[in-house]
Amino acid sequence: MQTGIIKFFNESKGYGFVLEDGTQKEYFVHVSGLKGPVTKDDKVSFEVTEGKKGLNAVGVTKI
């Protein structure tokens, strides 16, 4: 389980990006990968899985 912050999330379009702690890698997150509402700068935990266009954050939970 990785941790990071929500760099950007567009509620109306249902997607955003998570910035991983330590590595500063950016992962795409879709609303279907959320376990609750998130907003910009929220601290989150997440897992990474292979998506259609690269790695996606899933199981994203605000901590």
Q: pLDDT, tens digit, for every residue of 7-63?
A: 999 999 999 999 999 999 999 999 999 999 999 999 999 999 999 999 999 999 999
Q: Are 55 and 61 in contact (CB under 8 A)?
A: no
* pTM, 2 dp: 0.92
Determine how many CB atoms are found less than 10 A away from the CB of residue 16.
23
3-state DSSP: the chain helix, strand, coil percent, rounded to 5? Answer: 5, 60, 35
DSSP structure class, residue 18: E
Query: What are the extents of the domains in the chain?
Result: 2-62
CATH number of 2-62: 2.40.50.140
